[in-house]
Amino acid sequence: MVISSITKFLPNKHDGSLLGKRKFMGLAVIAIAIFAFSSLAINIGSHISLKKERELSITLPNGDCIWTNAEVYNESNGHPYGTLFASYPAAGMRVTWQQTEGATGIKVSDDFFQLAYAKIGLVKTQYPHYEGIWSYADNMNQVIYVLRNPRWAMPSYLTILSELNYAHTWEIAYDHLPEVFTKRAPMEDWIQWRDYRFEDEIRLWGLHIDFYMTNGLQYWMPVDFERNGQWPFRFYNESDLPWPQDYHCALDIDSCVPVAIVSYERIRDPEHGPGELHKIANALRGKPGMTVLPEDNIDCIWHDTWTSTLAPYNDARDRNGLPRTAYNFTMDQMYTIEAKLVEYSEKYSSPEWANMTQAQDLVWNFEHYLVEVREEIADIEANPPPTAAPNANYEDELVEWYNSKGKGNRYDKGKVQNMGIWDLIKHFYDR
């Protein structure tokens, strides 16, 4: 079996150490995920030609510049210093990688697509959220974290799922790639996804930040191969402390703690955007294999990237259907978002984080998110929506809808029994 050939590269599962056991489980899970998608990834990769030379945007006197297309890093130039751009789904990664490519001339790779090629240099991921995978082995050295207000990240996340037709296979996702950044989700889908996933996703938004700020404290059970927290597994809670460290952060990267925090709201803002790009450039400048524009040209390339990049932006969705402001939360959900932002603002402004610039940047953004969220709450309180009629079957209907999209029942016993890891997790199904 292919799974057997993959697992021969895993550590000895009879290693008695805790780290050995956890690494075996984690790598087994990744092997299964990569096997499931590798054939299409290789097919996709075969249609992509690697150019031999990187092309850096052109610098001119007096801080001027000319934007040029970025190109795939040429491995013949040596192994580059690896930078991982990590975020919760739909946190504005597109704008971030476009700006990064403008400043470096190096393409940012995706953790999912083109698995046939080495993930080196610049890579973006949503790991450890279940939409991301650690596909870059030990090629990364540092992390830059990309942040977005959860009030807007969650609706945008659902929109991407909808554009990709809720893909749970490479074939479906690849077929629908041309539809990304073209239309927002149907309103009925938003309401059902929101009401079914809200509590888990607002928690994951916070846990994702914590994961990187704590150098990989693992919030999911080691045997939870999708890191999704659905039955028969669960997320860790306070009673499980101390949580284990994710073995990737322990072994595969210098540190998972971000060297910089950039936010979607700031990097696309004319006042703050160049400053956010300066953070990225400063984190990359001088690293092996990295070509970065001089400091004096960063402001120029930030502006030039906006006007020169041909790829669609989030705002393009407004041309087809409802605007983003139509995708609202209930009053109770808005209160929960507010409480989460207050919790995280207080957490990362506590004494233990006082001397860390990254924590201060987080708090700055949280406080600005709170202003926006509280303004929306005030508007809803002043003009409350009508109360929906009670529906005793609503929760069952949400479960049925979610399952119909291929997103529910991810740990179905019959499916898991055929995945090659049944002996490791079967006892969870006997409880």
Give 104-142 pLDDT, tens digit per residue: 999 999 988 666 677 999 999 999 999 899 999 999 999
Please report the pLDDT score of residue 223 as a whole number: 86
Please report the pLDDT score of residue 329 as a whole number: 97
Please report the pLDDT score of residue 318 as a whole number: 60
Indicate whether 316 pLDDT > 90.
no
Indicate whether 337 pLDDT > 70.
yes
- Give the closest residue to 141 by CA, choosing from 284, 294, 29: 284
Please report the pLDDT score of residue 431 as a whole number: 61
Indicate whether 17 pLDDT > 50.
no
Indicate whether 55 pLDDT > 70.
no
Question: What average pLDDT score do residues 295-299 get?
Answer: 96
Average pLDDT, whole number, for the chain? 83
Question: What average pLDDT score do residues 50-69 get?
Answer: 72
267-295 as b/e: b if 16+ CB within 10 A: bbeeeebbebbbbbbebbbebebbbbbee
CA–CA distances in Å: residue 353 to residues 195, 242, 410: 34, 19, 37
- Give the closest residue to 200 by CA, choosing from 182, 226, 169, 222: 226
Residues in a beta bridge with 122: 83
Rounded-to-integer distance, Cα 233 and Cα 421, Å: 15
Beta carbons of 160 and 181 less than 8 angstroms apart: no
CA 277, chain centre distance (Å): 19
Q: 3-state SS of the chain: helix, strand, coil percent to 5? A: 50, 5, 40
* Range name among 50-54, 203-207, 251-255, 397-401 with the lowest pLDDT average: 50-54
Q: What is the dihedral of CA 409, 410, 411, 413, to 10 degrees?
A: 60
**Residue 125: both structure tokens together:** 């991921």
Tokens 């978002």 map to which residue? 337
Beta carbons of 287 and 80 less than 8 angstroms apart: yes
Rounded-to-integer distance, Cα 161 and Cα 292, Å: 34
**Residue 340: both structure tokens together:** 């989460």
Identify which has the larger pLDDT, 261 or 163.
261
Confidence band for 90, pLDDT divided at 50, 70 and 90: very high
The alpha carbon dihedral of 260, 217, 138, 127 has a sign of negative
Rounded-to-integer distance, Cα 200 and Cα 221, Å: 15
Amino acid at 393: N
- Give the closest residue to 210 by CA, choosing from 225, 220, 222: 220
DSSP E strand boundaries for 5-82? 58-59, 65-66
Confidence band for 322, pLDDT divided at 50, 70 and 90: confident
Residues of the chain with pLDDT > 90, as a percent, come to 59
- Give the closest residue to 142 by CA, choosing from 358, 361, 293: 358
Question: What average pLDDT score do residues 288-317 get?
Answer: 85
Give 224-235 pLDDT, tens digit per residue: 888 988 888 899
Please report the pLDDT score of residue 35 as a whole number: 38
Which DSSP state fits 134? -
Three-class SS state of 207: helix
Report the predicted TM-score, pTM, of the whole model to 2 decimal places: 0.84
The continuous run of DSSP H or E covering 142 comes out as strand 142-147
Indicate whether 36 pLDDT > 50.
no
Confidence band for 45, pLDDT divided at 50, 70 and 90: very low
